[in-house]
Amino acid sequence: VVAQRGLVIDQQQLSSLLACPVVAISASTRQGVSELKTQINQAVLDAPIPQLDIEYHPAIEQAIIDLSVALQSKAAEQQCALRWLAIRLLERDTLAREIAGPDLVLQAETLERDIEQATDDEVDILAADARYGLVNKISHLCVNKKNEVSRGMTHKIDNWVLNRYLGIPIFLLVMYLMFMITINIGSAFIDFFDQVAGAIFVDGLAVVLTAMSLPEWLVVLLANGAGGGVQVVATFIPIIGFLFLVLSLLEDSGYMARAAFVVDRFMRMIGLPGKSFVPMIVGFGCNVPAIMATRTLESQRDRILTNIMNPFMSCGARLPVYALFAAAFFPVGGQNLVFFLYVFGIAVAVLTGLIMRHTLFKGDSMPFIMELPNYHLPTLHSIAIRTWDRLKTFLVNAGKVIVPMVLVLNFLNSLGIDGSFGKENTQKSVLSEIGRTLVPVFKPMGIREENWPATVGIFTGILAKEAVVGTLDALYTQLALEGVEQEPEVFDLQQSLIDAVLTIPGNLLAVADNLLDPLGLNIGNVSNSQSAADAQDVSQGTFGEMQARFDGQAGAFAYLLFILLYAPCVAATAAIQRETGTKWTVFVVAWTTGIAYMTATIFYQLATFSQHSESSLLWVIGLLGTFFAVIFSFWLTGRNEEIREIA
């Protein structure tokens, strides 16, 4: 890059000014990488930490002196530079504040206010100005321009990519390709990972543990519980892996910065930077990689706000639920039903962003200042390393949350109310009993007492949204065929692994059919119940049970609204916890579930208003009143935070 720009860097002079070795490298060709590693190893062994003196504003220098006396023991204990610790403490650095302790933090904040009053400027601005001043000084001494260079390929490409009229269409095309690769191609491998993990960690482990004559409860706990958790984690490996692969490709090529620039103006309407658009788009395929993609946002505020909005983007896992209900209750116009649910999810996400922007997250997002890098041809080595590092981090951290949650839910699903095991997806399990007990909670949104399987479906949907279909099919079929003996399936590990491998070619062939339908909005022919049942891999009798137990189209659509909006699955919840922390994870789960309950209940009460006008009116007024009261409490919280910051 330096050579292409006609620049020459005096390495010896730069090394002397920085008081440390300087090595010229090229990441794409790996030129100089070996020498860099050698210098790093040498520095670790015997080189002292270079002391690069930066002359700050006199007011800051005096504050550094005042803090240094009290920080001396802390710096020695943590083996860090005393001057660095003092200036970072004045800049409110999190690590520096942890090292210093509460008393010194208060002293630093007092000195910070004194500096701002004396200079009429903020400490971090003054510090940055001093650092950039030194950088400019060193640059003038060490960098020489050899000759003028003509506009390169980067400028030619940017004439198209950043064009006022072509920028958005090109961006949408790139997002389409990213979405297609991440979801369509990645999804082709989900069945493989799901079946392999299920064969090894669930069915295979259960066979081994049973052969060891272990108690049935322990077999359920380890195989169905812990093994089921590993299986859930495994199903997200392909889509998350492909997402990180594409994101690494876009980042290394230099396009990601330009994509953020193109959509920045639109996103700022809801208080987010342009970079937030990518996770929102990915959320249509799967919320897990979408949430993981928010780590590209620099601001913690922007990451949290994007993660609050993301679960409302209807992921592909919800589509089988829509298709099932479209076939049972909306055989005509099913496509319109699905399209409306997608649009409604977007509307709720935008509304959430606007509410949060004016309450808990007042103020604008971080200023969008970005240096557009040159375009590069990414190397396979760098992309592979970055993709693997991100994927490994997800598997380790998300698995810590997913496995325990799946263990508890599967244990309750297998445990019978009589204390026996093996009651999965039957009305005799503890989870089913819990579902029956909680039916009154969901009655205002149209779930009647005899429709308790719908409540169980809500709980299993926490494992994975597509699990709602399997749960409803199993429970409704069980109710329809109660008393009929079922033959146990014989487990064959070798055949299970072969079947898993055989899913890949068929799924890859299906990718071609999805090129013009990246969101998967095509739910097939739902006007014929038999073909719809075959497509959804459910019993045709399930449709009859659903039609008998749901309160018509109103009850069914209210249920779909709840499925669209309520708490994300355990994998997405784990990803949110990883990215934002426990407090905001609880907030997201509570907010999404509350919005889902309010929306579904209000719709059902209005749709059936003529049947119970007085109670419907009370429910609508009560829920709307609660909603606005919550918004007001958010506003008060945000206002109090502002007052504390001013004080």
pTM: 0.62
3-state DSSP helix/strand/coil percent for the chain, to nearest 5? 75, 0, 25
Q: Which range marks the domain in which residue 135 is found?
A: 58-141
**In this predicted structure, what is the pLDDT of residue 532?**
52
The confidence score (pLDDT) of residue 402 equals 67
- Rounded alpha-carbon distances, angstroms, from residue 500 to 198, 224, 503: 10, 19, 5
pLDDT value at 647 more than 50:
no
Whether 425 shows a pLDDT value over 60: the answer reads no
From residue 375, give the alpha-carbon distance in Å to each of 104, 251, 378, 639.
Answer: 46, 10, 9, 44
Q: What is the mean pLDDT of residues 93-100?
A: 87
d(CA 447, CA 453): 10
Q: How far apart are CA 583 and CA 600, in angstroms?
A: 26
The string over 629-639, giving b where at least 16 C-beta atoms fall within 10 Å of a residue's C-beta and e elsewhere, is: ebeeebeeebe
396's tokens:
């380790």
Asked if the structure places residue 391 within a domain, the reply is no
User: 3-class SS at 143?
Assistant: strand
Strand partners, 26: 31
User: Is residue 67 located within the same domain as residue 15?
Assistant: no
On whether both 32 and 85 belong to a single domain, the answer is no
- Neighbour tally for 205: CB within 10 Å: 19
Two tokens, residue 231: 């299986």
**Mean pLDDT score of the chain:** 81
Neighbours of 379 (CB within 10 A): 14
At 144, which helix (H) or strand (E)? strand 143-145
Structure tokens at 197: 């993990």
- 8 Å CB contact between 83 and 64: yes
Distances, alpha carbon 332 to alpha carbons 326, 378, 534, 593, in Å = 8, 48, 18, 30
Close Cβ partners of 179 (under 8 Å, ≥ 6 residues apart): 281, 282, 284, 285, 518
Least confident of 75-84, 257-266, 512-521: 512-521
**First and final C-alpha spacing in the chain:** 48
Residue 309 C-beta-side C-alpha neighbours within 13 Å:
32
How many CB atoms sit inside 10 A of residue 547's CB?
Answer: 13
Reply yes or no on whether the pLDDT at 364 is more than 80: no
In this prediction, residues 599-613 reach a mean pLDDT of 92
Q: Does residue 21 lie within any of the structural domains?
A: yes
pLDDT for residue 533 is more than 70: no
Among 141, 157, 178, give the residue marking a domain's end: 141
CA distance 603 to 558: 6
Distance from C-alpha of 20 to C-alpha of 27, rounded to nearest angstrom: 20
Q: Report which DSSP code applies to 145.
A: E
| Residue among 404, 455, 399, 403 at smallest CA distance from 427 | 455
Buried (b) or exposed (e) across 420-432, using 16+ Cβ within 10 A?
A: ebebbbbbebbbb
Do residues 604 and 550 touch, judged by C-beta distance below 8 A?
no
Tokens of 202: 């669930």
The string of pLDDT tens digits covering residues 446-463 is 998 888 888 888 887 887
Q: In this structure, are residues 303 and 272 in contact, taking their beta carbons and an 8 Å threshold?
A: no
**Phi-psi category of 117—alpha, beta or left, where left has phi over 0 and alpha has psi -120 to 50?**
alpha
Contacts of 490 (CB under 8 A, 6+ apart): none
Domain check: are 67 and 37 in the same one? no
Residues 156-165: tens digit of each pLDDT: 888 888 888 8
Lowest mean pLDDT of 205-214, 225-234, 438-447, name the range. 225-234
Mean pLDDT, rounded, for 271-288:
76
95/40 same-domain check = no
Could you tell me if 64 and 137 lie in one domain?
yes
Q: How far is CA 351 from the centre of its chain?
A: 19
pLDDT of residue 643 exceeding 70: no
What is the rounded CA–CA span in Å between residue 152 and residue 254? 14
26 shares its domain with 69: no
Asked whether residue 4 carries a pLDDT value surpassing 70, the answer given is no
Mean pLDDT of 575-592: 91
Domain assignment present for 122:
yes
* Count of CB atoms situated within 10 Å of the CB of 126: 19
Residue with tokens 């990915």: 282
Helix or strand or coil: residue 9? strand
Q: From the CB of residue 9, how many other CB atoms can be counted at a distance below 10 Å?
A: 14
Percent of the chain exceeding pLDDT 90 equals: 14
Same domain flag for 13 and 70: no
User: HSE on the CB side for 155, CA within 13 Å?
Assistant: 5
Query: Is residue 64, in this structure, part of any structural domain at all?
Result: yes
Please answer whether residues 426 and 486 qualify as being in contact, where contact means their C-beta atoms are separated by less than 8 angstroms.
no
78 and 121 in a single domain? The answer is: yes
| 7: enclosing H helix or E strand | strand 7-9
Q: Do 24 and 89 have their domain in common?
A: no
- How is residue 208 written in tokens? 């081994």
- Cα–Cα dist 479/578, whole Å: 40
Inside any domain, residue 197: no
Q: Which residue has the higher pLDDT, 50 or 438?
A: 438
The answer to whether 416 touches 428, Cβ cutoff 8 Å, is yes
Please determine, for residue 275, whether its predicted confidence score (pLDDT) is greater than 90.
no
Domain boundary residue, one of 91, 126, 141: 141
Domain count, the chain: 2
Among 112, 132, 154, CA closest to 54:
132
Q: Please report the pLDDT score of residue 646 as a whole number.
A: 45
State which H helix or E strand residue 262 sits in. helix 255-267
What CATH number did the domain enclosing 72 receive? 1.10.287.1770
- What is the 8-class DSSP label of residue 416? B
User: What does each C-alpha distance from 163 to 65, 150, 257 come to in angstroms?
Assistant: 51, 20, 15
Distance of CA 392 to the CA centre of its chain: 15
Instruction: Among 28-32, 347-351, 491-495, name the one with the lowest average pLDDT.
Output: 28-32
- C-alpha to C-alpha distance for 200 and 230, rounded to whole angstroms: 10
Is there a single domain that holds both residue 81 and residue 133?
Answer: yes
Is residue 347 domain-resident?
no
Domain finish residue from 97, 117, 141? 141
Q: Is 40 part of a structural domain of the chain?
A: yes
Q: What span, in angstroms and rounded, lies between the C-alpha atoms of 393 and 395?
A: 6
What mean pLDDT do residues 326-335 have? 75
Q: Does residue 18 fall inside a structural domain?
A: yes
Q: What is the pLDDT of residues 21-55, one digit of tens each?
A: 888 887 667 788 888 888 888 877 776 666 677 88
Say which residues have a Cβ less than 8 Å from residue 164's Cβ, sequence separation at least 6.
Answer: none
